[in-house]
Every structure is written in C-alpha cells, then in structure tokens.
Amino acid sequence: MRQRRKRRKHRVLNLWLLVFSLAGLVFIGWSAGWDRIFTEPAALNGSHHSSPPAAGSPQASSDSAQTAGSSPSGLPGSSASPNPASPVPTPRSEPEYRTAVWMAVGDVMMHTPELPGAYDRKQKRYNFDPYFEQVKPILGQGDWVLANLETPVAGKQYGYNGYPNFNAPDELLEALQHSGFNVLTFANNHMLDQGEQGLLNTVEQIKHYGFATKGAAASQEESDQAVIVEQNGIKMGLLAYTYGTNGHQITSGRSYLASYINEAKMKQDIQTIRKAGADFVVVALHFGVEYETEPNEEQKRLARSLIAEGADIVAGSHSHVLQPYEVVQTATEDGKPREGLILYSMGNFLSNQRGDTKDYGAIFRLTVKQNREDGSIQLDDIEAIPTWVYRYREGDFFQYRILPVEQTLAQEASKQLTDQEYAAMQKTYDALQTRLHEWQ
C-alpha cells in the first residue's frame, strides 16, 4: 500500500513537471514568434521541397511584397530596403582628334641675279629645283604648305625682270610645286608690276600648277568665292590682303582684281568663310614697314582684332626680315577660350637681298588638331625653322640654295660652307632665336 502511494506521488510529480515544461515551451514560442520557429529553418536551409504557394494566397502576396522591396533575410516585420550597390563609374574617354600639319614661309622673290644661274642652255628653259632641294624634305612633312608669291608670273612676252617691276618664269611655280608647296597667296605690293593683264596671267598660271590661291581674282565671282582647302578631314579657310600695290591703280569697276586691307571688310570675310564651312581661318597680311625687326603698334592692333573676330592664324609678310610671333588668348562666340597665332613677318624665303638678316627667313610649322566631337581647333607644336639663302658663285653666275640653318650647323663637318660662313650663321641663328621668341 505504502509502495503504491509512493508510485502515485511520483506520477503526479512527473505530470506537473510535464505541464510546466509544456508551459515553458508555449511561453518561449510566444516570445519568439511561432512562424519564426517553424519557417525559418526551411528558409535558412534553402529547402525546395515545399509546394509553391497558389497565386493570390497570403503567402504568395507576402512573397511578392518581399520581391518588391522587403528585407533579403526573409524575416517578417522588416521593411528596410536594401542599400543599392554603388554604380561603377564609367571611365571618361579621351577626346579623339583629327590632325594635319600646317606650314608657311615668307616672301618668294625673283631678283635679276637669281635668273641666269638657273637657266639650262641645252634645254632652253629654267630649272629652279636645286634652289629648294635642301628644304624639300622639311616641306614634304606638311599638309598645307603656304608661301607669299611676291612676283608676277606674267609670261615671257613681258620679259623677265627683278626689282622694281618683277616678272618671273613659269618654272618658278613648277619648282615651288615640286618642293611641296600647295598654297600661294598673291596679295602684295608687287602684284600689279606687270599691269592688270600681267596679274590675270599670273592667277591663271598659279591655278594651272594646281595651287590654291587668294589675294587676286579674275572676276567678282572668283573674288567672292570662298577658298577652303581640306586636309585629313580639316578645312582651312584662306584669305589674303595687301596694304597697297606701289601706286599701280586698278581700272574703275575692276576692284575685284586685288584684295586690299580694309578692317571692316576683312572681319566680314572671316565670318563669311566660317559660314561656308571653314574649320579654321588663315589670314595672310602683307603689311608693316620694310626691314623693321618688330611690328608697329598698328600691326599688332589689327592682327589681334582679326584673331578676336575669328581668325586662327595671321601670316604676315612684307618686312623682308623675321619678326617675333605671338600666341594670343581669345574666346569663341559661346565664351569658350581659344588661341590664335600671329606671325608678324616670316622673312624672305628666296631673294637676292643680303645682310641685316634680309637673307634669312623661316619655315613655320604647327599641328592643327580638331576635336572630332565638337569641332574645336587647337594649334599645337608651334615652331620656327630658320632658313638662310646661301648664295655662291659658280662660273659667271650666282647659284642659290635655301638651307635649314640648324641642320646645316649640325652638319658643319661636311664643310659645305667656309669656317667664316659657319661662324656667321651660328651668330645670326642665336640672334634670330632670341628675336622670334621675344614674346613667348
């Protein structure tokens, strides 16, 4: 009996322990959330065995809401959106450019002493090719290669003359073509030396040899026509003007024959040629005072005003000696900064003038860069390559060779010149470098 009571007491005690255990489990489940206890293991274990919820069921609605923006943990009650991943920045691409090389030289003149040494008596014609042979490799690097033709090429019937009323053989144009030139300006004080017909004959011959040209015209229509020369997809607009024509007058009604400096007209022409499609504009100006080694204030004012109006390069001639060049800062119509180049005087490229640096000139070279995206123009790698007209006697006549000065000095060992000539060349070269870069 006593043993039975003892066993009954143990059963009652065990029953109460079970009741308390169950109550504890109920309390824990209520605290943690029943769905968390029964559903989280499946979610965390990635179970795929349960059937997908039917469309429209509460579970389906809950899944849709989670997809739209609930916490990726899958826990209910979490409404915070996940932080989006930071986008990878797209590298900024470098601008792409078209490029072409622009070159220019100063005055090409044909004084009387330059003629006989170039005449081939067997062929009965002139040959000026040797005059340019040592600068031809340099000129061959250019896309636009420009010179100021300061002599008419009017024809044999006018006679071949030097100063004061020039007239050169057609073979001069042939030699310029052979050496790499493709652009000739013909706006200078000697353009009417052989009269109006001589001017017209010259324009015809320039075009016959394939040069682009500006400064003189055979008609009003030709004068008004935009001269645009394209190289490597970049379009150069060309304009040319002279201060005067040594007192030679043009017949009334034929003002189109010669382009004279007129500031208002030049600015209008710059705008016109840009509208015609020019990407950059070159204005050749025959101006200033002969033999002056620096431009005067009026030259500087005029040239800078043309750059401000939209010209990119002012290519000056007439002084017959090199003058400083400058890069000026200006802006486009929409306010973007841009640069313009002013070559106040490019000196003599070919002539018989001697002394006081009149026998020196330069090949100016630069790279024209056009942004493929916005069409803007940059002028880079600007340099001046000094040249010297070497004159020497061979038999009864003078011979002429245009020498690149720096290259010639570097090859002094070849003894092409005398020691005195090398010394004088070095001294002049140093002085010209100082003069050219005075404003840089």
Q: pTM (2 decimals)?
A: 0.79
Identify residue 143 by its one-letter amino acid code. Answer: D
Determine the pLDDT at residue 3: 47
205, 248 in Cβ contact below 8 A?
no
Determine the pLDDT at residue 22: 60
400, 112 in Cβ contact below 8 A?
no
Residue in 281, 407, 400, 296 with CA at minimum distance from that of residue 345: 296
CA-CA distances (angstroms) from residue 239 to 219, 245, 320? Answer: 16, 17, 21
Determine the pLDDT at residue 16: 55
Determine the pLDDT at residue 222: 98
Determine the pLDDT at residue 93: 75
Determine the pLDDT at residue 406: 97
C-alpha 367/C-alpha 100 separation (Å) is: 6
Angle between helix axes 171-179 and 195-208 (nearest 10 degrees) is: 40
C-alpha 312/C-alpha 332 separation (Å) is: 11
Mean pLDDT by runs of 10 across the 440 residues of the chain is 48 55 53 44 39 40 38 41 60 86 98 98 97 98 98 98 98 98 98 98 98 98 98 98 97 97 98 98 98 98 98 98 97 90 98 98 98 96 98 97 97 92 98 94
307, 340 in Cβ contact below 8 A?
yes
- Binning the chain into helix, strand and coil, the percentages to the nearest 5 are 35, 25, 40
Determine the pLDDT at residue 79: 44
Determine the pLDDT at residue 342: 98
Determine the pLDDT at residue 315: 98
Map out the domains of the chain with their CATH numbers.
100-436 (3.60.21.10)
